[in-house]
Structure 1
Amino acid sequence: MVFLHARGITRTVELPDAEPLHILRGVDLDVEVGDHVSIMGRSGSGKSTLLNILGLLDAPTSGTLEFDGVPLDRMTAGRRDRTRGRNVGFVFQQFNLLPRRTALENVEMPLLYDGGRGFWRRRRLAAEMLERVGLGERMAQMPERLSGGEQQRVAIARALVRSPRLILADEPTGALDVETGATIMTLLDQIATQAGAALITITHDPHVAARAQRVFRLSDGVLHAEEPILEPAA
């Protein structure tokens, strides 16, 4: 079943005293439930821009996007925000943890905006997710006391605590060493598979892209399907 349906997605930025900047020129993409897609491309090719549009953080200049069967142009701003909060989990390269909050408090943050039982159960849900990513004994630590790999695990726990149906990972291993990055991707793959969530990974790393079921390259503002990538030799 197609969960995310994008056709002709463009993104143009108007610049003062210069020609408009065409970042995306017509992106087509279908993502099914449980799918794992990797998008590669050089720096500045528009990968993060596309991810923000697919995750309902931004709107395209033109084109159509359907999220779980609902066209984006039929969503009010409030409905779009609620849909994103319930269904999308973001994993960022730079972690974006709150420095004055413990690991547990960072993971709790998305649940503070939950109008249902999640709000009242937020501490237990956050603790369970941290246990799941192997940080059960590090819950009370501030980010500065955690290693890079541990901080990324906290970021993953925060992204997944609301059980999103779509996980968007923007260069999730870019700030990590090779061994830690491989561990993080294995963890992300396992949790996405167990939850039945679709996973879209933005990366320049062929080791990361090789884990995906389908690989695309973003070039000249358009997605091009690539042949499956074999795991590079160590």
Structure 2
Amino acid sequence: MTLLRLEGVTKTVDIPDAEPLTILHGVDLVVEHGERTSIVGRSGSGKSTLLNILGLLDAPTSGVFEFDGRSVARLRSGARDRQRGADVGFIFQQFNLLSGRSALENVMTPLLYASGRRFWRRRTIAAEMLDKVGLGHRLDTMPEKLSGGEQQRVAIARALVREPRLILADEPTGALDVETGTSVMGLLDTVATDYGAALVTITHDPAIAALADERHRLDAGRLHPVESGAEVPA
């Protein structure tokens, strides 16, 4: 079943005293439920813009964008925000953990917007998720006392604590050494599988991109599929 469908998506932004800048040109993309998809591209290729659209943070200028069969263009801003909060988990290169809050408190944060039983059980749910990523013994540790790999594990736990159907990983290993990055990607894939979530990884690293089921290259705002077995270009 299809979770995301983009057809002919463009994104143009206005530039003061200059012609409008088109960042994305006719992007076509389909992501199935539970699928692993990678998008590789150089800096300035439009990766961040595409990520913001996929994550319901921004809207296309034109084209079709459907999330779980529903046209995103028809959603009001409040409905779009609720869908993003319920269905999308973000993982960033720089972790973006809240300083002055423990690992447990960081993972609990998304559950402050939950309702009913999940809200009242937020501490238990967050502790269970940290245990799942191998940090059950670090619940009360502050981010600055964690290694880079441990901080990324906290970020993964925070992204998954609401059991989203879509995980967007933006350069998730960019701040890690190769060995730690490989371990983190393996963990991310395992946990995503456990929750049946689709995983879209935005990266500049061909080795990370090659781990996906479906691979794409974004070049100057144009998305090109990479054939199975072919090397993912940098």
The TM-score with structure 1 as length reference comes to 0.96
Give the whole-Å Cα distance in 2 for the aligned partners of 1:211 and 1:182.
10
Q: CA deviation at 1:158?
A: 0.1
Any conservation in 2 of the 1:206–1:229 contact (CA below 8 Å)?
A: no
What runs of 5+ residues in structure 1 fail to find an aligned partner? none
Give the whole-Å Cα distance in 2 for the aligned partners of 1:13 and 1:231.
33
Q: Which residue in 1 is equivalent to 2:137?
A: 137
Q: Which residue in 1 is equivalent to 2:112?
A: 112
Any conservation in 2 of the 1:40–1:202 contact (CA below 8 Å)?
A: yes
Q: Which residue in 1 is equivalent to 2:202?
A: 202
1:135-175: CA deviation from partner (whole Å, max 9, x where unpaired):
01111011111111000000000000001100000000000
Amino acid at match of 1:8: G
Q: CA deviation at 1:229?
A: 5.4
Give 1:143-154 correspondences, 5 Å limit.
143-154=143-154
Any conservation in 1 of the 2:44–2:220 contact (CA below 8 Å)?
A: no
Amino acid at match of 2:210: A
Go from structure 1 to structure 2 and tell me whether the alpha carbon gap of 1:62 and 1:116 turns closer, same or farther (over 3 Å shift).
farther
Give the whole-Å Cα distance in 2 for the aligned partners of 1:222 and 1:230.
19
Go from structure 1 to structure 2 and tell me whether the alpha carbon gap of 1:20 and 1:160 turns closer, same or farther (over 3 Å shift).
same
Q: Does the residue aligned with 1:97 lie in a helix, a strand or coil? A: coil
Go from structure 1 to structure 2 and tell me whether the alpha carbon gap of 1:117 and 1:231 turns closer, same or farther (over 3 Å shift).
farther
Q: Which residue in 2 is equivalent to 1:191?
A: 191
Q: CA deviation at 1:228?
A: 3.3
Q: Does the residue aligned with 1:44 lie in a helix, a strand or coil? A: coil
Q: CA deviation at 1:222?
A: 1.4
Give the whole-Å Cα distance in 1 for the aligned partners of 2:76 and 2:115.
18
Query: Which stretches of structure 1, 4 residues or more, deviate above 2 A after TM superposition?
Result: 227-232
Give the whole-Å Cα distance in 2 for the aligned partners of 1:84 and 1:116.
19
Give the whole-Å Cα distance in 2 for the aligned partners of 1:14 and 1:116.
43
Give the whole-Å Cα distance in 2 for the aligned partners of 1:98 and 1:142.
9
Go from structure 1 to structure 2 and tell me whether the alpha carbon gap of 1:230 and 1:9 turns closer, same or farther (over 3 Å shift).
closer
1:12-40: CA deviation from partner (whole Å, max 9, x where unpaired):
11111112111101111111011100000
Give the whole-Å Cα distance in 2 for the aligned partners of 1:27 and 1:231.
21
Q: CA deviation at 1:230?
A: 7.1
Query: Which has the higher mean CA deviation after the structures are superposed, 197-206 or 221-230?
Result: 221-230
Q: Does the residue aligned with 1:4 lie in a helix, a strand or coil? A: strand
Any conservation in 2 of the 1:111–1:162 contact (CA below 8 Å)?
A: yes
Q: Which residue in 2 is equivalent to 1:17?
A: 17
Amino acid at match of 2:158: R
Give 1:161-176 correspondences, 5 Å limit.
161-176=161-176
Go from structure 1 to structure 2 and tell me whether the alpha carbon gap of 1:113 and 1:226 turns closer, same or farther (over 3 Å shift).
same
1:105-135: CA deviation from partner (whole Å, max 9, x where unpaired):
0000000011232111110010000000000
Amino acid at match of 1:42: R
Amino acid at match of 1:223: L
Amino acid at match of 1:190: T
Give 1:52-91 correspondences, 5 Å limit.
52-91=52-91
Q: CA deviation at 1:214?
A: 1.0
1:27-66: CA deviation from partner (whole Å, max 9, x where unpaired):
1111101110000011111111101101101111111111
Q: Does the residue aligned with 1:136 lie in a helix, a strand or coil? A: coil
- Number of residues of Structure 1 aligned to a counterpart in Structure 2: 232
Q: Which residue in 2 is equivalent to 1:44?
A: 44
Q: CA deviation at 1:231?
A: 8.8
Give the whole-Å Cα distance in 1 for the aligned partners of 2:176 and 2:157.
17
Q: Which residue in 1 is equivalent to 2:215?
A: 215
Any conservation in 2 of the 1:210–1:230 contact (CA below 8 Å)?
A: no
Give the whole-Å Cα distance in 2 for the aligned partners of 1:146 and 1:231.
35
RMSD, aligned α-carbons: 1.3
Any conservation in 1 of the 2:59–2:73 contact (CA below 8 Å)?
A: no
The TM-score with structure 2 as length reference comes to 0.96
Give the whole-Å Cα distance in 1 for the aligned partners of 2:143 and 2:53.
29
